[in-house]
Chain A
Amino acid sequence: MKPFAYVRATSVAEAARLLGAGSAAMAGGTDLLGLMKGGIAAPARVVDLTGIDGLRGWSRERGAGLRIGALTPLVDLETSDQLARHLPIVRAALADTATLQLRNAGTVGGNLLQRNRCWYFRDEAIPCWLKGGTRCFASEGENEHHAVIGTARGCNRVAPSDLAPALIAHDARVTLVGARGTRSIALADLYTDPALHSRDEHTIKRGEILTEVHVPEAGLQRRGTYLKAMERKTWSFAVVSVAAAARVRDGKLRNPRIVLGGVAPVPWRVEAAEAEIDGHPFSDELARRAADALLADAAPLAKNGYKVPLAKELVRRALAAIAAA
């Protein structure tokens, strides 16, 4: 690990000012530490955000949706029965996220902004495209964990977060605060596609801090579920995960969302797939059609073709679970 300066910010404004070039923001540090020890990140300055007040905890105001502070430890969300009543998908998504130790240290903001787990990206000796190199080593290499869809250019990484698909399925937005002001974007738009030639994984800008997640009232009206396939029973990133949510009435799923993790460089959503089921009497056949539509453009690599039937099956099950609940 390279030597670095450490500063503990006490306000968002101070942190924003400190987060210039060569600086890295740290909340729980569970991802940053691994990146630094692995030689992937070498910030000259680490700006610790944990001294900032007011970014912890969550609140629900009738008519105004649900707000979750970015510094809230994952374990607080997971263990809150009250939150589980308002937004049960969070507990479902966190149940198999990392280990209890990591959920204790890790925060909501950090989870949404974590970097991908591609084993070529995480090897400091591999000059892959995402790290400024010329090509993806996985495309012709050991790619059983890599993306099957949405990889038009350069990078076959997959979105690793469990929380991101779950929150996107409920139309979550995030607040980003920087020296030049505050903006609110859809959580889905926090993730950026290699097809856009961007060698970033997130659209957050230098000097910006993710301060809050907001789930609007409409999102809270949906019933949601999260399913995750791993290579062992727990303590693993998803091979494939699916978050699904919809308003359910009279055997129909309305305004549904289906978001996949582990299959694409970003949390994967296709509106046409959701339209397949929106407002129609739910059936297994319909669920299968939605799953097919969601993965219609899949172009698996040599070793990850299995993810396509696996993702379709999880989508089918998730939709059936919502419809039956």
Chain B
Amino acid sequence: MFRFLFDRDTWQEVFDSFNKNKLRSILTMVGVWWGILLLIGLLGSARGLENSFNRLFGDFATNSVFIWAQNTSIPFKGFQEGKRVRLSLTDAKKVEENVEGVEFVVPRNQNQATVVRNFLSGSFAVGGDYPLLDKVEKKKLIHGRFINQNDIDDRKKVVVISEDIYKQLFKKDEEAIDQYIQINSINFKVIGLFEVSNITMGPRIDLHIPFTTFQQVYNAGDQIGWMMITGKLEYDIVQIEEDAKLLLKNLNSIHPDDNRALGSANAGQEIGRVTGFLTGMQFLTWFVGVATLFAGVFAIGNILLITVRERTKEIGLRRALGATPFEIKRQIVVEAVFLTLVAGLLGIISGGWILIGLDAAFGQGDEAVIVNASVSIAVVFIALTLLIILGTLIGLIPAFKATSVKPIEALREE
């Protein structure tokens, strides 16, 4: 059936008919070439943007939710409305134990503190944190380490500071690790220096001290400021948020319908919005690319229709010499597929070049807008398959046109 594809004569014929209409064939191929170029270029760029978003979110658990306490708005169980709700470590523990799909619950505390070193001082947010925080909101440490379990157990007076604090309190290139700074007049040893991440949920915190130390210093007892809950990947973070809130309302005597008592921010939802935008962009890209491709393929069909019209006599002669209508059609379809495929391959290659160019121009360094702009092999194959199918379908039109004329009429034509 497909043996003719390996026949030298088939390709000789294709080559001959291409040569006869060189300029026109090339001009029509430009249509398909442009379509594929757009498709590859846009898809690659969209992928690059997505990669750069992913890199931003990379150090952040995307399926997480923050819950903090506010004031009640509905009277319940003898309490008047406006009661100040306070969350505790016990609440965090209960959430971790009882809500389905929870991976971690990280209780946190936060306060404002005056930080002094030598003669320099400033006011910064200080957080009481567990080592687990590093799992949920990855800290990029430039020097030293993050808080560990030992620090928690011994209530050590150690602190992990941000780059910004370092810049304000230390001289350039000065060693910060093992130096002491004063937080609310208490000396803390600096154990780590972290880079401020582009993406943070909740308040910005420049100083992390052990949770237990925070409890002691601020006399916080069991109270926590808020909790970060991360869900396992296969669970819906919105559902986890609802379950956790309901449990917390139950534990703290809050009316189940009270929507103001607990505040929350769902990172999963926010990030979902961004990824939704990216998905939309990819869809748009496919739409534009494929539509352009269609236009290009139609142009090829059009040109073949004209070529066939010009070759009416030749086709008539071939039929007089014994070519069956099938052989004639097959030849024209092969020509259509060949033209689309060659144009498509050139488009893929030049699309690749564009992506290489984009990568060179915008894809370098940490602040890159487009990261690793590329298309997968699967996309290339889909595009090629699409081209072959479209080429075949569009080739059928001139093919049937070619054999619809009786050989006698074709031969008579001058």
Chains A and B form a bound pair: no
- By a beta-carbon cutoff of 8 Å, the part of chain A in contact with chain B is none
- By a beta-carbon cutoff of 8 Å, the part of chain B in contact with chain A is none
